[in-house]
Structure 1
Amino acid sequence: MKNVLKLLITIAIFYYLFQYIDFYALITVLSKSHGGDILIALVFQMGSTYLAAYRWRAISKLLVFDEPLSFYVNSYFKGSFFNQVLPSSIGGDAVRVLDLTSHGYDKKEAFYGVFVDRVVGLVGLLVLNLFSTIFFFGTFKDSFSYLIILISLAGISGFTLLFFLNKIHFLQHYKFLNLFYRLANRLNSLYKNKTILLKHIGISVGVHLLTLMAIFAIALSIDVKLDFQIFLIAIPPVFLLMIVPLSLAGWGIREGAMVGILMLVYEDKTKILAISILYGLLLIISALPGSYFWIKGISKKTKKIG
């Protein structure tokens, strides 16, 4: 039922977009995209996934999870496959937790590892967006730039505050607030050395830079020659909006947000929509190795049972 609702929301958003965008003009733009640039974008996107898997491994090592990098890369691609390709109730993060528990690790510890990986990834996105907006201030209207700076600072401040919540002991007595209390304890135990935290955030910045380079290459593939700094400022808010799971794999939300934001500096909404659609298709293609790792894992379990 939840996936049906997401599908309806996705269809509704695209229906709204196509009230203002010529469908046949969009098809023409998509058909004329340059394969070489898209191939470069695919390399950047897969590199982003690989680097994200490396970050997850680095965080997991703090939890004393002893698995090779190949395990985390395989699991991350599997998670991407479930997120982007399969309309399943099992999300990519759940797949990663299940992979760890199948190797004998505690379910709660596995959850914390994946959750911290997500949070550190989000902070990296906010840091990148904050510094890009400040450094290239004036690229967008001041009001939009100040909004981005405010949102980024609020998110980073909220993350910083998490480290102090374990000192507010009454939080542990309330069911909902206890989650934040336990998370604060876990973060403080993992990141006693704040240099390690900064390193992990730096890796996250690299992950998002590779993703933005992929989108930039896609833009070039349809002859949209915008400065890279525009993508540094405009795309992270799109990713933030996609965190809310309202549509299937972010389809519709991504397109609507990208058109709405990039039209502040670029008038051709058809080409903006084409960038977003091509990126969505690129995500599906880049996640396909996960299907191989998933089927391979099922085959191994079948052989063990047999």
Structure 2
Amino acid sequence: MSRVSPWWRLVAGVLVLAVLVWRFGTGPFADAWRLTTWRSVLAALVLTALATLANAWRWRVVARALGAPLTLVGSVTAYYRSQFLNSALPGGVLGDADRGVRHGRAAGDLGLGLRGIVWDRVTGQAVQVVLLAVVVLVLPTPLQAYAPSSTAGVAGCALLVWGLARRRHGTSYPGRDLRALLRPGVAGRVVLASCLSSTAHVCVFAVATATVGVHLGPAALVTVALGVLVGSSLPLNVAGWGPREGVTAGLFALVGLGSATGLTVGIVFGVLASVATVPGVAVLVAEAVVRRRRSVPVPVPAGEPLEQVPHG
């Protein structure tokens, strides 16, 4: 399954994109590239930097609770690297896998590093789902019709978490990890960091709608943006593309603004989100330079015995 699953995720992402192109043509894609401006790109870079800092903080909180602390600089650079790899490689999770492997090796426990990444992603997405359920229930938008089903879904997930946290026997990692993460001091910071990150991404979505020239009221903007963020978390994409654009098109149709317009906004949002991960390239280049310098052999002067050459 570990070999087949990534290919199925890639195929699913390609199919979503193919359906979108078949349904709407290439017009929305061309419009999105034409409308994207340097001002919107700069705004996305700044807002995504804030989101990255919040995400790195959440990861540090989770890792510390599980027993594998992280430094501030290390967590931020690793998060930028993983975001770039997620946006550049199929599946949307390979960067996180790399982040977990590196952290696990540094901590001397590969499994612990990977569990930290899983909980970092799960807690962040869980907070987004809860936020979406709350705004669908509270804010006056056409999506309020889906409030009962969204509330029931969140309640079901809460019951599952409660059941896992109560498992205290055996070597149940989910139960032990959840008990560590649900401590008030830990859970409060995880929720706060996730809310800050989600707010920054909602602002990037607002930049995308303004770039396209679409006017959404505050209630509809927040609700649609959170719905897009939750849909974007599906690992069925091609370098981040696929479900995000499909979900945006569907939500815009539900709020009465047209799926074609939603697709254009989704593409602009995708462009801004991808460009905003460019600092991850700088991290990869810096790491390559450091590795190259460390691998350069110490020159040995002609005629001098090797044992006289200082080491290190």
TM-score normalised over the length of structure 1: 0.84
Cα deviation, 1:29-83, whole Å, max 9, x if unaligned, reads 5413454344323321221122101111122233444442110000001111111
Q: Is the 8 A contact 2:252 2:261 kept in 1?
A: no
Determine the structure 2 residue equivalent to 1:92: 95
Asked if the contact 1:126–1:155 (Cα under 8 Å) also holds between the matched residues in 2, the reply is: no
Q: Which residue of 1 aligns with 2:163?
A: 161
Structure-1 residue corresponding to 2:77: 74
Q: Which amino acid aligns with 2:163?
A: L
**Structure 1 position 151 matched with structure 2 position 153:** yes
Q: CA deviation at 1:9?
A: 3.4
Per-residue deviation, 1:305: 3.6
Structure 1 residue aligned with 2:209: 219
Bigger Rg, structure 1 or 2 = 2
Q: Distance in 1 between matches of 2:92 and 2:218?
A: 36
1:275 aligns with 2:268: no
Which residue in 2 is equivalent to 1:175?
none
- Would you say 1:183 and 2:174 are equivalent positions? yes
Q: Deviations over 1:133-174 (max 9, x none)?
A: 2221x31244323222222333333333321133xx4xx4xx
> Would you say the 8 A contact 2:32–2:268 is kept in 1?
no
Deviation at 1:104, TM superposition (A): 4.1
Mark the runs of 5 or more structure 2 residues left unpaired by the alignment. Answer: 297-312
2:241 touches 2:270 (CA, 8 Å); kept in 1?
yes
Q: Distance in 2 between matches of 1:164 and 1:64?
A: 20
* Alpha-carbon distance in 2 for matches of 1:3, 1:161: 30
The one-character-per-residue Cα deviations of 1:251-301 (angstroms, maximum 9, x if unpaired) are 121111111122111333222111111121222211121122123223323
- Please say if residues 45 and 211 of structure 1, whose CA atoms lie closer than 8 Å, have aligned partners that are also in contact: yes
- For residues 1-306 of structure 1, the aligned pairs below 5 Å read 6-24=9-27, 26-28=29-31, 30-87=33-90, 91-136=94-139, 138-166=140-168, 169=169, 172=170, 181-191=172-182, 193-306=183-296
C-alpha distance in structure 2 between counterparts of 1:42 and 1:299, whole Å? 24
- Counterpart CA distance in 2 for 1:156 and 1:235 is 23
Distance (whole Å) between structure 1 residues aligned to residue 113 and residue 199 of structure 2: 27
Partners of 1:78 and 1:95 within 8 A in 2: no
For residues 111 and 289 of structure 1, do their structure 2 counterparts lie closer, same or farther at Cα, with a shift above 3 Å needed?
Answer: same
Cα distance between partner residues in 1 of 2:83 and 2:212: 26
**Contiguous gaps of at least 5 residues in structure 1:** 173-177
Instruction: Give the secondary-structure state (helix, strand or coil) at the position aligned to 1:246.
Output: coil
Q: Distance in 2 between matches of 1:13 and 1:89?
A: 15
Change in 2 beyond 3 A, CA 1:159/1:207: farther
User: Conserved in 1, the CA contact under 8 Å of 2:66 and 2:180?
Assistant: no
Q: CA deviation at 1:22?
A: 4.6
| Aligned residue pair count | 293
- Letter of the 1:16 partner, please give it: V
Shift in alpha-carbon separation, 1:206–1:158, aligned structure 2, 3 A = farther
- Normalized against structure 2, the TM-score is what? 0.82
**Cα gap change, 1:185 to 1:252, in 2 (>3 Å):** same
